[in-house]
Amino acid sequence: MDISGKRMVENLKAIDYVRLSGTEGEEKAANFIAGKIKELGAEPVIETFDVPFYTIEKVKLEALKPFNKEYEATGYGFSGNAAKDGIEAELKYLESFDDLSLQNIQGKIVLFVGGVNAQTFEKLIKAGAVGFIGVCGHYLDKKGTFDLEERMLREQQIVNGVIPGVCIHVNDAVAIVDKGVKKVRLTLSQNETTAKSRNVTTFVTGTKFPDEIISVTAHYDSVVFSHGMFDNGSGTVNNLEMLRYYLKNPPRRSLRFVFCGSEERGIYGSRNFVEQHEEEIKKTRLCCNVDMTGPVLGKDIVRITGEDKIIHAIDYYAKVHGHVATVYQDTYPSDGMPFAWKGVPAVNFYRQAAAGTTQIHCRHDTLSRITAKSLESTGKFIVEVMNTIINADSFPFERKIPDNMVEKTNGMLKNMPGYKTDGEDKDKQQKKQVS
């Protein structure tokens, strides 16, 4: 089988830079992908769409009582400019977001470990907090070897309003609580606007069943600080290699390749695609999403947002081809989800890296963690499985999302940008869309 890990590595080298949503880096990568598609003999289409964008202009966190000290901090995107001139308030450490912990935080700045979701952020607003401090990192981190996470709030988190927030390192958080900091000043100024992002698509027409379409997706954007070779440069180059293969080995069913922009900002690219291609989505039978491959130590996973019969079939295909893979049913927070939202089963392929070997969403997601041999092994497995489906005499699965996956898809999309219900009950609306 002509699937080459060496070619994948060469393509990874060509996008070995930060590809943050809405920036020149993402646009550069989109143009590279389009160029590769044309080089392979297919016709690329670049589809542009707007995404929320922010620029942090000033951020500062200072202890005021019982001593004065400034801590390194990053600002939460889209948490507003209420603190542009600085907010001084009493500090409260939240051990949890239960009702007891949230008592008496009105007018205070709260510190908590980790991040916030839509539900916990709403609790902070209703309880009257005037600012918040999230925590990231590991106590073993050493200066110069890490970057503070740059986090953002998403549309569904801020439907009830915003309060300014920053993120600090866990070692500073420990010191703040241990030394009894009582009062802080939080300063945050940012420019909130929109920017352009891009999906790059191409179409391979099926030789026997051209009106039955399988979408093949992967996101090519990365996060701030990260070159994203694992997440998800690896999936991007895997799908370029799949495109090469199917152009040389014409499939019986049509394939729509979608290289998605702005997945890291809230799965914007694939959501935009399914919304802009409604007629095509009606003909789409399956989504094959590839998100992270390539580490030497780890295991291949196939997570399926679809019926049990898909799980059993793919587990069988894996065994027939002698490839060890864990196959199970679940949602997966990547580009397959908007397809599931529209009733298209999603098969998500990824390689789960062994603990301590590969990191994502940071400066350590580099090419040094990826090997051609591992890329090729997983890539061949994906094509072997997909060939069985793509070239079947009769399509083996229904275009259907079971009720338990509708509910889980519902729950996930409620916290993502752009999930609209036009005033209808969200669960009922979602079931209508996937039926």
Residues 87 and 201 in one domain: no
Q: How far apart are CA 270 and CA 162, in angstroms?
A: 27
Tokens of 93: 């450490």
The answer to whether residue 341 is domain-embedded is: yes
Mean pLDDT of the chain, nearest integer = 93
Structural domains in the chain (count): 2
Whole-number Å distance between alpha carbons of 293 and 297: 11
- 272 and 165 in one domain? no
Among the candidates 127, 147, 181, a domain finishes at 181
Residue 16 forms part of a structural domain: yes
Whether 265 and 363 share a structural domain = yes
**How far are the Cα atoms of 21, 227, 434 from residue 56, in angstroms, in the given order?**
15, 20, 39
Give yes or no: residues 287 and 335 share one domain: yes
CATH number at residue 263: 3.40.630.10
Q: Is residue 13 part of a domain?
A: yes
For residue 77, what is the DSSP state?
A: B
pLDDT of residue 118: 86
Same domain for 256 and 134: no
Same domain, 11 and 122: no
* Residue 189 included in any domain: no
**395 lies in the same domain as 272:** yes
Question: Do 134 and 239 belong to one domain?
Answer: no
Domain boundary among 151, 181, 211: 181
Extract long-range pairs of 27-34: CB within 8 Å, 24+ residues apart: 27/196, 27/198, 29/220, 29/221, 29/236, 30/198, 30/200, 30/220, 30/259, 30/261, 33/200, 33/220, 33/236, 33/240, 33/259, 34/200
Are 305 and 338 in the same domain?
yes
Out of 129, 154, 181, pick the residue that ends a domain. Answer: 181
Q: Give the domain range for residue 116.
A: 67-181
Contact 77/189 with Cβ under 8 angstroms?
no
Distance, CA of 216 to CA of 337 (rounded, Å)? 13
- Look at the chain and count its residues: 435
Low-confidence spans in the chain with pLDDT less than 50: 421-435
Instruction: Determine the Cα–Cα distance for residues 136 and 241; give it in Å rounded to an integer.
Output: 36
Residue 59 inside a domain? The answer is no
Same domain, 146 and 202: no
Same domain? 317 vs 342: yes
CATH number reported for the structural domain that contains residue 102 in this entry: 3.50.30.30
What digits encode the pLDDT tens for the residues 323-362?
999 999 999 999 999 999 999 999 999 999 999 899 899 9
Residue 360 lies in a domain: yes
Q: What pTM does this model have?
A: 0.93
Residues 272 and 124 in one domain: no
Q: What is the CA radius of gyration of the chain?
A: 23
Give, to the nearest 10 degrees, the angle between helix 234-248 and helix 5-14: 130
Domain contains 61: no
Is 62 a member of any domain? no
